[in-house]
């Protein structure tokens, strides 16, 4: 019935829409990472559209039409927020590009300013043409000052503007004429010009960046041609003496071509960056839309649950033994749970009956009876107490239990993504106490997950373990080659259809703790096989990467509980609970810390893509 059920469980035996219990073919135990398929991509292509139930009667038809209008208005909301988001994202693309250019400008300005300062000092020693030396000193001084000004301004991105870019570009272009003529068209100055082209060619100001850069390259070509052909005198400091004319012409063509190539590369690079930012923005937009869809799906689910819970069911008004059944208080994969009155008294109880349709499945009926048998064996403050087991009027088996007031964890987590650390410590403590009793009785629960943990209202409030439907008695003859349980919280050995013991429940409790602390499930996948693969081979995302406030010790405790090898986990559920309590106070003992660190070193947490 709850979030953690509805999205992940699947029952090939009894597939009905919304059915949940998993009896999935296990991953072959022999599947090793080397033979395993390549890591599966966790994010799916998109949420499937949520089919709406066809109205079965006029009353529901009217409610359905109102729900569909609310749905269209909510999708309108989604698309409106989508386009709003697109606008904001486009602005953020521009802002990102602007910031990137400002950073580059500050760096380039600094380099040019330093080069100009060195060049000015060089003027003291240079020979060179005397007339050009004055122009050279002026060019160095002006360009150096402008570059220093750019460096100073662009460090604050807000002060980097198109006007600053243009002033810098024009000064650099004009100075390049002087430098080329003073140093010589075949001098190393061409390297500096190429460097300038790669900076200005990447410029945001497309009206100026490209024409100005082409102008600089053309200016070089013309100057070099005029000098080489002897039309104007070569006043350069670096002049090739005995180089033949064709070689000089070839060289100047090469240099011009290199300039144009660098320019072209710069423009291409800019376009590629823009496209990459656009693509990532698009991904963010899609993610936001999906988030909204998910939100909508959650509301639908809540509505469906409200419609089911507190309503009359198939057995309402009938009797099961001495229990008179009232409304439904919960639903799971296997059955419906009714509130009931005991005989003629006002005493309350809860009665679980198999879903209609499951009665024809002998395997499911025997599983239900096994649950009854297990539940009768174990008793404790953190376990739901069974009062009676019997057959209802129509012969179907039932389990009568104490009626719990409160809410299961899956329902709580639909309203709050995570719990506070002290709440998680209490949860682990209570559930561990329940597990201790189960394990001492030789029972492995095998399906610990949020929907099967119930916060019973006090006083004092207490977590109780529900649903022993797939639990396993030590002497049980149930075959090992099928996977039963819920993949998202299942231990790797259980996912592989291997031998399970108390430590499998410790893994599941670790997965529940991870889920409640971080707000995220430790393992996700688009389908059961992918999810099982993740459980067996992948590491969850590092908790502190999701929430930096999680204490380091708690992270280590989670790593121990979620260790792939059962021997590496806590040996008992109480040792897990004790470690959790200490870790929450940052007081985990050193031996445990070292153990956790060793586990993380051998199998590091995954990196989470935010
Ligand atoms: N004793 C109880 N008192 C109140 N609610 C209960 C009780 N037992 C179960 N529920 C509710 O019914 C839901 C389904 O019960 P569960 O035993 O887990 O059935 P299933 O085996 O079908 O998963 C639980 O998630 C819980 O919300
Ligand atoms: Mg259940």
Specify if 436 maps to a domain: yes
Average pLDDT, the chain: 80
pLDDT of residue 558: 98
Q: Which of 345, 372, 402 is the last residue of a domain?
A: 402
Predicted confidence (pLDDT) at residue 433 exceeds the cutoff of 80: yes
Q: Is the CB of 490 under 6 A from ligand 1?
A: no
* CATH number of the domain enclosing 379: 3.30.200.20
Predicted confidence (pLDDT) at residue 62 exceeds the cutoff of 50: no
Q: Compare 552 and 48 and report the one with higher pLDDT.
A: 552
Task: State how far the Cα of 146 lies from the Cα of 578, in Å rounded to an integer.
Answer: 66
Q: How far is the CA of 45 from the centre of ligand 2 (A)?
A: 29
* CATH number of the domain enclosing 593: 1.10.510.10
pLDDT of residue 221: 93
My answer on whether 464 and 531 are in the same domain is yes
Task: State how far the Cα of 86 lies from the Cα of 82, in Å rounded to an integer.
Answer: 6
My answer on whether 270 and 347 are in the same domain is no
Q: Which of 5, 234, 326, 447 is catalytic?
A: 447
Specify if 23 maps to a domain: no
Q: How far is the CA of 390 from the centre of ligand 1 (A)?
A: 18
Q: Compare 312 and 154 and report the one with higher pLDDT.
A: 154
- Which of 454, 457, 469 is the best mutation target for the ligand 1 pocket, counting ligand atoms within 8 Å of the beta carbon and taking the most? 454
Residue 76 exposed, middle or buried by CB count within 10 Å (0-12, 13-18, 19+): exposed
Predicted confidence (pLDDT) at residue 182 exceeds the cutoff of 60: yes
Largest CA distance in the chain: 120
Predicted confidence (pLDDT) at residue 59 exceeds the cutoff of 70: no
pLDDT of residue 194: 92
Specify if 608 maps to a domain: no
- HSE of 110, CA atoms in CB hemisphere, 13 A: 8
My answer on whether 392 and 455 are in the same domain is no
- Which of 18, 310, 323, 337 is the best mutation target for the ligand 1 pocket, counting ligand atoms within 8 Å of the beta carbon and taking the most? 337
My answer on whether 255 and 334 are in the same domain is no
- Are the C-beta atoms of residues 166 and 232 closer than 8 Å to each other? no
Q: Report the nearest atom of ligand 1 relative to the CA of 2.
A: 25
- Are the C-beta atoms of residues 506 and 521 closer than 8 Å to each other? no
Q: Is the CB of 452 under 6 A from ligand 1?
A: yes
Question: Of 11-15, 301-305, 605-609, where does the model show the most confidence?
Answer: 605-609
Q: Report the nearest atom of ligand 1 relative to the CA of 21.
A: 23
pLDDT of residue 15: 32
Predicted confidence (pLDDT) at residue 472 exceeds the cutoff of 80: no
Q: Which domain holds residue 447?
A: 406-602
Name which residue sits closest to atom 4 of ligand 1, judged by CA: 404
My answer on whether 426 and 495 are in the same domain is yes
Q: Which of 286, 303, 330 is the last residue of a domain?
A: 286
Name which residue sits closest to atom 15 of ligand 1, judged by CA: 332
pLDDT of residue 124: 75
Q: How far is the CA of 448 from the centre of ligand 2 (A)?
A: 9
> pLDDT, tens digit, for every residue of 592-609?
999 999 999 999 999 875
Name which residue sits closest to atom 10 of ligand 1, judged by CA: 330
My answer on whether 436 and 417 are in the same domain is yes
Question: Of 126-140, 369-383, 463-477, 512-526, where does the model show the most confidence?
Answer: 512-526
Q: Is the CB of 449 under 6 A from ligand 1?
A: no
Find the mean pLDDT for residues 85-105.
72
Q: Is the CB of 486 under 6 A from ligand 1?
A: no
> pLDDT, tens digit, for every residue of 104-140?
999 999 999 999 999 888 877 766 677 778 888 899 9
Range with the poorest average pLDDT among 61-70, 165-174, 181-190 = 61-70
- Return the ligand number nearest the Cα of 402: 1
Q: How far is the CA of 361 from the centre of ligand 1 (A)?
A: 20
My answer on whether 336 and 242 are in the same domain is no
pLDDT of residue 121: 87
- Which of 9, 310, 330 is the best mutation target for the ligand 1 pocket, counting ligand atoms within 8 Å of the beta carbon and taking the most? 330
Q: Is the CB of 329 under 6 A from ligand 1?
A: yes
Q: Compare 526 and 315 and report the one with higher pLDDT.
A: 315
Residue 251 is inside which H or E element, if any? helix 245-308
Specify if 582 maps to a domain: yes
Predicted confidence (pLDDT) at residue 567 exceeds the cutoff of 90: yes
pLDDT of residue 14: 32
Measured from the Cβ of residue 153, the count of other Cβ atoms closer than 10 Å reads: 19
Q: Is the CB of 467 under 6 A from ligand 1?
A: yes
> What pLDDT band is residue 361 in, cutting at 50, 70 and 90?
confident
Secondary structure (DSSP) of 533-600 = HHHHHPPPBPHHHH-TTS-HHHHHHHHHHT-SSGGGS-SSHHHHHHHHHHHHTT---HHHHHHHHHHH
Name which residue sits closest to atom 17 of ligand 1, judged by CA: 467
3-state helix, strand, coil in the chain (%, to 5): 55, 10, 35
Distances (CA, A) of 70 to 56, 304, 307, 389: 19, 15, 17, 44
Domain total in the chain: 3
My answer on whether 95 and 123 are in the same domain is yes
pLDDT of residue 280: 79
Name which residue sits closest to atom 21 of ligand 1, judged by CA: 334
My answer on whether 506 and 561 are in the same domain is yes
Specify if 560 maps to a domain: yes
My answer on whether 88 and 184 are in the same domain is yes
Specify if 375 maps to a domain: yes
My answer on whether 137 and 264 are in the same domain is yes
Of 608, 524, 597, the residue nearest 563 (C-alpha): 597
What is the edge-to-edge ordering of all strands in the sheet holding 319-320?
319-320, 323-331, 335-342, 348-354, 397-401, 386-391
Q: Is the CB of 353 under 6 A from ligand 1?
A: no
Name which residue sits closest to atom 25 of ligand 1, judged by CA: 451
Q: Which of 342, 372, 402 is the last residue of a domain?
A: 402
Name which residue sits closest to atom 20 of ligand 1, judged by CA: 332
Is 447 part of the annotated catalytic residue set? yes
pLDDT of residue 135: 87
Q: Is the CB of 466 under 6 A from ligand 1?
A: yes
Of 345, 359, 191, 342, the residue nearest 259 (C-alpha): 191
Q: How far is the CA of 442 from the centre of ligand 2 (A)?
A: 20
- Which of 327, 352, 407, 450 is the best mutation target for the ligand 1 pocket, counting ligand atoms within 8 Å of the beta carbon and taking the most? 352
Q: Is the CB of 404 under 6 A from ligand 1?
A: yes
My answer on whether 392 and 414 are in the same domain is no
Q: Is the CB of 313 under 6 A from ligand 1?
A: no
Q: Is the CB of 383 under 6 A from ligand 1?
A: no
pLDDT of residue 511: 97
Q: Is the CB of 408 under 6 A from ligand 1?
A: yes
């Amino acid at each position: 019935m709850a979030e953690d059920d509805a999205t992940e469980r699947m029952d090939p035996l009894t597939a009905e829409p919304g059915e949940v219990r998993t009896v999935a073919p296990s991953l072959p135990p022999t599947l090793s990472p080397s033979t395993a398929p390549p890591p599966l991509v966790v994010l799916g292509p998109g949420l499937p559209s949520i089919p709406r139930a066809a109205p079965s009667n006029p009353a529901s038809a009217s409610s359905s039409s109102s729900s569909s209008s609310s749905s269209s208005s909510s999708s309108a909301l989604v698309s409106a927020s989508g386009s709003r988001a697109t606008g904001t994202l486009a602005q953020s693309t521009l802002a990102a590009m602007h910031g990137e250019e400002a950073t580059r400008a500050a760096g380039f300005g600094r380099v040019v300013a330093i080069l100009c300062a060195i060049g000015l000092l060089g003027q003291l020693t240079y020979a060179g043409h005397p007339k050009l030396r004055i122009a050279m000193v002026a060019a160095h001084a002006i360009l150096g000052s402008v570059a220093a000004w750019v460096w100073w301004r662009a460090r604050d991105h807000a002060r980097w503007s198109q006007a600053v870019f243009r002033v810098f570009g024009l000064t650099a272009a004009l100075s390049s004429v002087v430098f080329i003529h003073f140093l010589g068209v075949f001098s190393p100055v061409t390297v500096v010009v190429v460097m300038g082209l790669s900076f200005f060619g990447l410029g945001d100001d497309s009206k100026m960046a490209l024409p100005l850069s082409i102008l600089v390259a053309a200016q070089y070509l013309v100057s070099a041609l005029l000098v080489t052909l002897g039309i104007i005198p070569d006043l350069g400091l670096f002049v090739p003496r005995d180089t033949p004319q064709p070689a000089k012409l070839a060289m100047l063509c090469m240099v011009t071509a290199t300039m144009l190539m660098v320019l072209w590369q710069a423009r291409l690079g800019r376009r590629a960056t823009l496209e990459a930012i656009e693509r990532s923005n698009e991904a963010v937009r899609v993610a936001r839309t999906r988030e909204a869809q998910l939100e909508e799906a959650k509301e639908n689910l809540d509505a469906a649950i409200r419609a089911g819970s507190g309503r009359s069911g198939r057995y309402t008004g009938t009797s099961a033994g001495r229990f008179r059944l009232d409304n439904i208080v919960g639903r799971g994969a296997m059955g419906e749970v009714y509130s009931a009155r005991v005989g003629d008294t006002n005493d309350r109880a809860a009665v679980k009956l198999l879903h209609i349709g499951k009665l024809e499945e002998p395997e499911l009926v025997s599983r239900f009876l096994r649950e009854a048998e297990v539940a009768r064996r174990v008793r404790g403050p953190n376990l739901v107490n069974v009062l009676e087991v019997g057959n209802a009027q129509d012969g179907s088996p039932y389990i009568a239990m104490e009626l719990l007031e409160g809410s299961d964890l899956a329902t709580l987590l639909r309203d709050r993504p995570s719990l506070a650390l002290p709440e998680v410590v209490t949860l682990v403590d209570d559930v561990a106490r329940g597990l201790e009793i189960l394990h001492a009785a030789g029972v492995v629960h095998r399906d610990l997950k949020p929907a099967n943990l119930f916060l019973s209202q006090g006083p004092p409030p207490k977590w109780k373990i529900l649903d022993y439907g797939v639990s396993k008695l030590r002497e049980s003859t149930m075959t090992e080659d099928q996977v039963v349980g819920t993949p998202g919280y299942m231990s790797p050995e259980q996912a592989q259809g291997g031998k399970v013991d108390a430590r499998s429940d410790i893994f599941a409790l670790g997965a529940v703790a991870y889920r409640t602390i971080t707000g995220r499930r430790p393992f996700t996948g688009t389908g059961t096989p992918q999810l099982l693969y993740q459980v067996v081979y992948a590491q969850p995302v590092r908790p502190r990467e999701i929430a930096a406030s999680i204490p380091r010790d708690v992270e280590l405790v989670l790593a121990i509980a979620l260790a792939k090898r059962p021997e590496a986990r806590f040996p008992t559920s109480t040792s897990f609970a004790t470690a959790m309590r200490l870790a929450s106070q940052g007081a985990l003992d050193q031996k445990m810390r070292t153990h956790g660190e060793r586990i993380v070193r051998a199998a590091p947490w995954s990196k989470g893509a935010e």
